[in-house]
Amino acid sequence: MAVLYEEDLPILMAEINKRINEKVGKEYSFIIDQSKSDPVSIITLNEVYEPSTPAEWMTALGIKPCVVHEGTVLYYLNPNNFRYTADGINADIVTPGNDVMIEIPRMGIRCVKLSDTRACVTITKKSHATGFDYRAFSCDTYNDSSKLYVGAYEAYAKDNKLYSVSGKVPTTGAALGTYRKYAKARGIGYGIVTYSIDTLLQCIYCLIFRHTNSQSVVGSGYTIASHVAPLISGGSDAYGMNSELCTGSVQTDANHHVKFCGLESFWGNTQTLEDGIGIDSMGNIKLAPTVSACNDTFDKYEAVAVGPTTNYNGFVSKMLLANGAIFVPTVVEGSSASYYSDYGSFENRNGVITAFGGYYASALYSGVFYRNSSITTDASPQTCGSRLIYLAR
């Protein structure tokens, strides 16, 4: 039996605390205060956290880029330049089937209303925390996936299958069900990005940047009103994970991709049709419990909240802030420089789905809080595409 000396105790206790934190999981929370109109004041951290820069947050949350082939990670990528592996070797990011994806370990999110205008949102790294929403990590059964992989690029379709590769024009002009079918053709665990996944990413954005004008603090994205078609994928490969290495006019001229969490054109370029959400004529907001439950009739969906009673469109000043349906726009009394600084719309009619982020000609309407809730499942908008995802069990 080893002898324990007094001078070893600090090292031993530090290791014990480290292992406890790894076992229990970290939690991070922020406050949303919708009584304020200044984008710099709406979101505040609930306490001071050790990560401070976007790169530090990526490490703390375990978010990193990789190449996935048939559900297996082939290698991780240099977060500052996706053309190279983490070991500095040339990476194959252009061959369909070698999907460039962003790995996100399982997290849950919870939104608690504090008043009519304030809410506390918490992100937990615990795998099964009570009261938290894990729909983003639910493939066939609720909360059955340990890791989520989101396509780093907007989806590209070839031979009726979806891919996430560099150097391709994003596929647009198809209905939601078509994108879903093309993703499922890739195999078990594949799908397209859902409202719940985008909501998780919006929460991560709030945690990292604490500023509701995403175009001003991260990048404009490809959004000038005179644009007539989207950019090809891969233009942001050397931008860093959050446009850290993209500076000057490249970041602000609205003629280039934006990069958030390693996701190219998370806003701008093409709108993303979101799976797993449906709105009916009564304004009921329904979410799919799993990716496999996603369909065009919403018959397997769960009602989580009631949206606005009247239709609207405009710059968003208030969000629903309901657990499971946090960033559904409800009031549009803002501007491109106030409140959430992005455009939103909502319609009460059967079969309505949502589109996220804005597109190549949506100018200042675009951003991390843009959500168009007026598209139906049978529509095939030319400005809308999708994004491939894979859920690992």
Say if CB 182 and CB 161 are below 8 A apart: yes
Q: What does the angle CA 129 – CA 134 – CA 135 come to, to the nearest 5 degrees? A: 160
pLDDT band, residue 24 (cuts 50/70/90): low
Res. 197: pLDDT tops 50: yes
- Give the separation between CA 203 and CA 189, rounded to whole angstroms: 24
Say if CB 192 and CB 185 are below 8 A apart: no
Spatial neighbors of 290 by CB under 8 A, at least 6 apart, are 135, 138, 139, 140, 141, 142, 144
Spatial neighbors of 374 by CB under 8 A, at least 6 apart, are 311, 313, 345, 346, 347, 352
Q: How far is CA 73 from CA 124, 303, 365, 393, in A?
A: 24, 35, 36, 13
Task: Find where tokens 């031979």 sit.
Answer: 159
- Give the separation between CA 340 and CA 114, rounded to whole angstroms: 19
pLDDT band, residue 17 (cuts 50/70/90): very low
* 3-state DSSP assignment of residue 19: helix
pTM: 0.93
pLDDT at 300: 93
- Give the separation between CA 350 and CA 369, rounded to whole angstroms: 23
Instruction: Extract the tokens encoding 144.
Output: 């059955």
Mean pLDDT estimate for the chain: 93
Q: How confident is the model over 71-84, as pLDDT tens digits?
A: 999 999 999 999 99
Q: How confident is the model over 292-324, as pLDDT tens digits?
A: 999 999 999 999 999 888 899 999 999 999 999
Distance, C-alpha 282 to centroid of its chain: 27
Q: How confident is the model over 328-338, as pLDDT tens digits?
A: 999 999 999 99
Q: How confident is the model over 207-256, as pLDDT tens digits?
A: 999 999 999 999 999 999 999 999 999 999 999 999 999 988 898 999 99
DSSP 95-148: STTSEEEEEEE--EEEEEE-SSSEEEEEEE--SS-TT-B-GGG-SSSTT--SEE
pLDDT at 15: 52
pLDDT band, residue 1 (cuts 50/70/90): very low
pLDDT at 247: 85
Q: Among the listed ranges 33-37, 278-282, 285-289, which one has the minimum average pLDDT value? A: 278-282
Of 246, 304, 252, residue with least CA distance to 279: 304
Say if CB 87 and CB 95 are below 8 A apart: no
Helix or strand (DSSP H, E) at 283: none
pLDDT at 23: 45
Side chain identity, residue 266? F
Q: How confident is the model over 109-140, as pLDDT tens digits?
A: 999 999 999 999 999 999 999 999 999 999 99
pLDDT at 3: 54
pLDDT at 213: 98
Res. 4: pLDDT tops 60: no
Phi-psi bin for 351: left (phi > 0), alpha (psi -120 to 50), beta?
left
Res. 102: pLDDT tops 90: yes
